[in-house]
């Protein structure tokens, strides 16, 4: 533990579980004041477990009209500012492109892309006025390569990268950096379950490092981009996939 982010206010979406939870805890361990957002009500108890005290869970459907503005208003009312946003909330709905339903397509884009933009836009208004901010968007290796049955997911994550580049260009003069992080499979509890057995072992053989990513590795990279030393890094999509996308 440390105090790298003491005094910083951090908002993490998708914070009840998975990568988002690991990221939120990583910041809390290092002194930040964390607001965790999730559709699941368990976000309240999950965030309450973090060290330091004062952290808050916000149960909210990010796709609901006006949700992003309400979340940011709540954070600013409680903390007075927003220094860092990590857009981690996302869903994966798989099917072959010819069979993919309109509902799966719309839901994937709504959660993964539109909700991330709306959160970035809402905090961007606060950050650009304050003259400081760090936004990190969770993309995926699927943002740069094609994956079978992932047409909606790949499209949403490629959209995240395009969005990141535009926001970084527009907001850099106001002291706000915007970057994307693109992991391969991450060994969260859900990731371990989804990629257990032969399917997972087969995929690992395609990754030069021979393994999947750990949640703490993703959190560490995000924290670097959120820190003072990364002030000249903006508009980037950083792959954390063991070399898979470079093959």
Strands (E), 60-213: 84-87, 133-138, 176-183
In a domain, 95, yes or no: yes
3 state SS of 56: strand
Mean pLDDT of 221-243: 97
In a domain, residue 231? The reply is yes
Assess whether pLDDT exceeds 50 at residue 245: yes
* pLDDT (tens digit per residue) in 196-225: 899 889 989 999 999 999 999 999 999 999
pLDDT classification of 2: cutoffs 50, 70, 90: low
Neighbours of 40 (CB within 10 A): 13
- Say whether 244 is catalytic: no
Residue with tokens 């940011």: 72
Q: What is the pTM of this model?
A: 0.96
Confidence class for position 246, pLDDT limits 50, 70, 90: confident
The CA distance from 19 to 148, in Å, is 23
Number of structural domains the chain divides into: 1
Mean pLDDT calculated for residue range 101-130:
98
218 contacts 211 by C-beta, under 8 angstroms: no
In a domain, 246, yes or no: no
204 in a domain, yes or no? no
Domain assignment of residue 93, yes or no: yes
Cα 151 from Cα 8, distance rounded (Å)? 37
Per the prediction, the chain carries an average pLDDT of: 95
Structural domain including 97 reads 9-185+214-235
CA angle 26, 155, 242 (to 5 degrees): 50
* CA pair distance 129, 147, nearest whole angstrom: 40
Per the CB < 8 A criterion, the answer to whether 71 and 122 are in contact is: yes
For 84, counting Cβ atoms within 10 Å of its Cβ (0-12 exposed, 13-18 middle, 19+ buried), the class is buried
Q: Give me the CATH number covering residue 171.
A: 3.40.50.720
207 located within any domain: no
Q: Kindly compute the dihedral angle of the four CA atoms of residues 183, 90, 9, 118, in this order, to the nearest 10 degrees.
A: 120
| Closest to 12 measured CA to CA, from 3, 23, 1, 28 | 23
Q: Is residue 202 part of a domain?
A: no
Task: Answer whether 125's CB lies under 8 Å from 167's CB.
Answer: no
Each residue of 123-175: pLDDT tens digit?
A: 999 999 999 999 999 999 999 999 899 999 999 999 999 999 999 999 999 99
Candidate list 26, 132, 153, 244, residue with the active-site label: 153
Does 90 reside within a domain?
Answer: yes
Band (pLDDT 50/70/90 cuts) for residue 1 is very low
């Amino acid at each position: 533990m440390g105090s790298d982010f003491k005094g910083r206010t951090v908002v993490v979406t998708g914070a009840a579980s998975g990568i988002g939870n690991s990221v939120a805890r990583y910041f809390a361990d290092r002194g930040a004041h964390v607001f965790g957002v999730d559709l699941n009500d368990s976000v309240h108890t999950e965030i309450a477990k973090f060290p330091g005290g004062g952290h808050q869970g916000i149960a909210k459907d990010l796709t609901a009209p006006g949700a992003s503005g309400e979340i940011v208003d709540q954070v600013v009312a409680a903390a007075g500012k927003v220094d860092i946003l990590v857009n981690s909330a996302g869903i994966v709905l798989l099917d072959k492109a010819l069979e993919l339903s309109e509902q799966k397509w719309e839901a994937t884009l709504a959660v993964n892309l539109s909700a991330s933009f709306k959160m970035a836009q809402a905090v961007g208004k606060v950050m650009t006025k304050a003259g400081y901010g760090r936004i990190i968007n969770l993309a995926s290796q699927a943002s740069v390569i094609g994956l079978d049955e992932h047409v909606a997911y790949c499209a949403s994550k490629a959209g995240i990268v395009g969005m990141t580049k535009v926001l970084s260009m527009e907001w850099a003069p106001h002291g706000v950096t915007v970057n994307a992080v693109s992991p391969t499979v991450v060994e969260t509890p859900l990731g371990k379950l989804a990629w257990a057995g032969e399917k997972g072992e087969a995929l690992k053989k395609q990754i030069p490092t021979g393994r999947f990513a750990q949640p703490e590795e993703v959190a560490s990279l995000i924290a670097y981009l959120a820190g003072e030393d990364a002030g000249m890094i903006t508009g980037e999509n950083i792959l954390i996939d063991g070399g898979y996308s470079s093959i």
